[in-house]
């Protein structure tokens, strides 16, 4: 049986999900897997997520405008009249999940790009845990389109920052190799004439010896 058909018959609310909501969930699974593999070597944690985002910021890899839309969405969802909402507490942030950084970003108490992007990714990390560990099924999966759609935007923008950094590093390595090649070519070119003369002289000596032997 097709897995979607199986879920339609057995999973609560799944059959009534719009196609775009199902697509957003599938896209989230793929994007998260790609993000965690490429950025965190398959071992993501809030501490590592924040550290990596701060590295991107330090190296001027973050285009904060790319995160404006999801940041606005999550602020409206998790903050109301300056207070954290029930939805925020449903993220089930743990002691090790850098909640102080997340709260500061949501409340606009920090302008540090690394902290803002790190906070968004930690929110995505908690959505990922709640999704993959079954919490969202327990509280019904319906009505999650905006969460997944904005989480996908965060992941794609974060991956752009990371992959751009990787491309730049490779380009620098290529430029360094080209410079090394130029230097070595120059060094080898200098003694070339003398080397040719020496080889030619040795050839003449051998030819003379061969003539005497005849």
134-193 tens-digit pLDDT: 655 534 566 789 999 999 999 999 999 998 765 555 555 556 556 655 655 554 554 556
pLDDT score at 146? 94
Could you give the CA distance from residue 49 to residue 39 in angstroms, rounded to a whole number? Answer: 9
pTM: predicted TM-score of the whole model, two decimal places: 0.74
Query: What span, in angstroms and rounded, lies between the C-alpha atoms of 148 and 12?
Result: 18
Q: Residue 123: what pLDDT? A: 98
pLDDT at 16: 83
Mean per-residue pLDDT for 189-209? 66
The beta strands (E) that lie in the chain are given as 79-80, 83-84
Please report the pLDDT score of residue 185 as a whole number. 57
Mean pLDDT over 10-16 rounds to 81
Q: What is the CB neighbour count within 10 angstroms for residue 167?
A: 10
Closest alpha carbon to 118 in 78, 148, 74, 154: 154
Kindly report the backbone phi and psi dihedral angles of residue 79, in degrees, each rounded to the nearest multiple of 5, phi listed first: -135, 130
What is the residue extent of each domain of the chain?
21-162, 175-213
pLDDT of residue 46: 97
Name the nearest CA neighbour of 90 among 121, 151, 119, 131: 131
Q: What is the pLDDT of residue 32?
A: 96
Question: How does DSSP classify residue 40?
Answer: H
Higher-scoring residue by pLDDT: 192, 114: 114
In a 13 Å sphere around the CA of 191, the CA atoms on its Cβ side amount to: 6
């Amino acid at each position: 049986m097709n897995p979607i058909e199986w879920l339609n018959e057995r999973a609560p609310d799944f059959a009534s999900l719009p196609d775009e909501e199902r697509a957003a969930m599938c896209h989230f699974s793929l994007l998260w897997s790609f993000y965690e593999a490429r950025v965190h070597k398959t071992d993501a944690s809030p501490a590592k997520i924040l550290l990596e985002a701060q590295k991107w910021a330090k190296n001027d890899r973050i285009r904060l405008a790319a995160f404006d839309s999801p940041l606005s969405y999550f602020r409206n969802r998790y903050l109301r009249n300056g207070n954290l909402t029930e939805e925020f507490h449903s993220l089930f942030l743990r002691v090790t999940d850098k909640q102080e950084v997340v709260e500061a970003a949501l409340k606009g108490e920090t302008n540090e790009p690394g902290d803002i992007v790190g906070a968004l990714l930690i929110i995505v990390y908690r959505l990922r845990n709640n999704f993959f560990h079954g919490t969202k099924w327990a509280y019904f999966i319906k009505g999650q389109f905006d969460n997944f759609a904005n989480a996908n935007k965060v992941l794609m923008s974060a991956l752009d920052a990371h992959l751009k950094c990787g491309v730049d590093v490779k380009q620098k390595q290529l430029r360094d190799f080209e410079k090394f090649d130029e230097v070595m070519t120059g060094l080898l070119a200098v003694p070339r004439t003398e080397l040719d003369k020496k080889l030619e002289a040795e050839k003449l000596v051998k030819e003379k010896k061969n003539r005497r032997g005849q």
